[in-house]
Structure formats: structure tokens, C-alpha cells
Amino acid sequence: MTDQETYRIMGIDPGTNYMGYGMLEVAGRRVRSVVLGDIDLHKLTDPYAKLRYIFERVGALIDEYHPREVALESPFFGENVQSMLKLGRAQGVAMAAALSRGLQVFEYAPTRIKQNITGRGSAAKEQVAAIVSRTLGVDRPLRRLDATDGMAVALCHYYTTSSPLQAALGPERVKGLGGGKKAASRKGSQSWEHFLREHPDREIK
């Protein structure tokens, strides 16, 4: 990579009511926010209509902003199987939109994203939003924090791939083809249930 190389990373925070996204532009050692927002799905009651809309909107954003890579937050593992399945489908459709356009896809665990952004794997959404906004100079109020969550995924990927130590650790999964260690445990189940309580918009009604 040269100091003058410019490219874009799309970060996605999967959801089935709101899917956050951010487009990060990297120019040498400088980064800036190109666009961030969320895909509003909560009015669509047919789950398959939601999946189609996710595919179309993610594809349209890719076609408009031309990212080189797409990074997504990976789903939790827990006992709420139906919610996990629906969230996983949403993530998979977003992946498919990127892969259909020949882009590289990367996944990161939620705790790793928070750790990379705030230094704490248990940080709240508001802390993530505050640091993302300060880092990128985002001063306009956002309707929801899903947008800054999406940008946080893009920033996490940038930090991971631009740091030799982080790059050696790598993402949990590369190109959506497996790898990494993610066992479903009682602790993981509790984390998932706690996550749903804190973020009811992620629960599938």
C-alpha cells in the first residue's frame, strides 16, 4: 500500500428492523466519513421482503459509493435460536450483495469492534457513537445509533488491517467462509439475552 492510495471500506451492523451502515474513505493515513445511515426495515412485515430489500439496498449503496471491502459485525450465539437465525439471514443477504459484486467480505465479533474503537469490549453503543463521531468529525445528530455502529465496523476493519499486530490476528472470519472460534456457551447465551434487552429494535417481532 502506498501513502497516496485511496479506497473505501463499507461497514455494516446487521439488523432486521434497522441495519446500520457507514462508508469510510482511507487516503494514506487519513480517514473520513463518506456517508453513514441506516436501512429502515421495521415497516416490512414479510421476512422475505426484508431480505430482498436488504440485498437491494446494500447493493445500491455499493454501486453508488464503490467500496473495495465490506466488513460486517458477526451475529451472537445464544439460546434465542429464532432471533439468531433471522439476524444471521440478514447478515448473509448483506454478504451476498457484496460478494455478488466481487468484493472481499470480513466479519468481526461485537466485542472486538468495541475493543478496537473504545478500548473496552463491553462499551455501550453511546460510547462507540461518541468516539466514532469524534474520530471522523461527525457533528450532525443521528436518529439512531445503528449508523455509528455500522461505521464502527468499518473503522475496526481499518484499524485491524492497517496495524501489523492486528493484521496478524486477522478477522474472526474472512470472506464469509468460516474459521475462527465461536462456541455457543451459557455465558454467550446470557450475553445475547442481555444484548436483546438493551437493543429491543434487534428483536424480531
- Residue 29 CA to residue 163 CA, distance in Å, equals 11
46 is annotated as an active-site residue: no
Q: Which one of 38, 107, 146, 149 is the catalytic residue?
A: 146
In the set 25, 38, 69, 73, the catalytic residue is 73
Catalytic-labelled residue, pool 13, 38, 69, 107: 13
The question of whether 146 is a catalytic residue gets the answer: yes
In whole angstroms, what is the distance from residue 126 CA to residue 88 CA? 24
Residue-wise DSSP of 56-76: HHHHHHHHHH--SEEEEEPPP
B/e letters for 20-37, b = 16+ CB within 10 Å, e = fewer, are bbbbbbbeeeebebbbbb
Within 10 angstroms of residue 76's Cβ, the number of other Cβ atoms is: 24
**Taking the CA of residue 113 as centre, how many other CA atoms within 13 Å lie in the half-sphere pointing to its CB?**
28
Q: How far apart are CA 154 and CA 167, in angstroms?
A: 15
Q: Which residues are catalytic?
A: 13, 73, 146
